[in-house]
Amino acid sequence: MKSNLRFILDKLDLARVNAFKNIVTYKNRDFNLPNEIPENVALRKPTKQSSTAQSDFPSFKAVDGLTHTISHTDLNASPYLWVDLEIIYNIIRIEIINRADYGNRLHDLDITIGPGLDHMSMCAHFIGPGNDGEYLVFQCREWYKDGRFVKMTIIKGPEYLQLAEVKVFGYPTFE
């Protein structure tokens, strides 16, 4: 009994390691958080993608709050999708839910953040490839970062960018 339990625990640990092996994450610095829990500030915000494969897969389906709907570009050299949060937020983390199939198309993904699309800087990079339906959590290398736009770009195409959901958690900046 005891050895079976140990085996299960080992498998769980291995699964956890595999799930996070590619994620760049830098944690914890002194920062006085507001009292509220951060919200998903990307939900139903404006989006755009480099192209749209079919009318069933527009970019807004990456932020519609539903995991069974996806955005899906055509085969592009550097396919991208961005979301406009509409105001500047202190971005705490970004969560991406990969498509339930063809998950290995998600790889070499730059996640950039900035006040404008012409002023973007690196938040995190996912080497991948992703697994089907994988739930990925990213923190920016600088732990938190101010930004209005969040952009996902596959930098080693040609590839399709297909996202079930993108969530951005943060607080409005207080200036």
162-172 and 80-98 beta bridge pairing: antiparallel
Least distance in Å: CB of 66 to Ca ion? 4
- Helix (H) or strand (E) holding 153, with range, is strand 145-154
The reply to whether 69 sits near Ca ion by the rule CB under 5 A is yes
Give the helix ranges, DSSP H, for the chain: 2-20
Q: Which stretch binds Ca ion (CB under 5 A): 11-19, 58-66, 133-141, 143-151?
A: 58-66
Least distance in Å: CB of 1 to Ca ion? 42
Q: Which of positions 110-129 make contact with Ca ion (CB under 5 A)?
A: none
14 or 66: whose CB is closer to Ca ion? 66
Least distance in Å: CB of 127 to Ca ion? 24
Kindly tell me which residue out of 64, 74, 108, 142 binds Ca ion, with binding defined by CB under 5 A: 64
Q: Dihedral, CA atoms, 96, 167, 119, 125, nearest 10 degrees?
A: -20
Q: Which stretch binds Ca ion (CB under 5 A): 14-22, 126-134, 149-157, 160-168?
A: 160-168
Ramachandran class of 133: left when φ > 0, alpha when ψ lies in -120 to 50, beta otherwise: left
* CA–CA separation, 126 and 37 (whole Å): 26
Kindly tell me which residue out of 61, 93, 105, 151 binds Ca ion, with binding defined by CB under 5 A: 61
The reply to whether 66 sits near Ca ion by the rule CB under 5 A is yes
| Residues composing the chain | 175
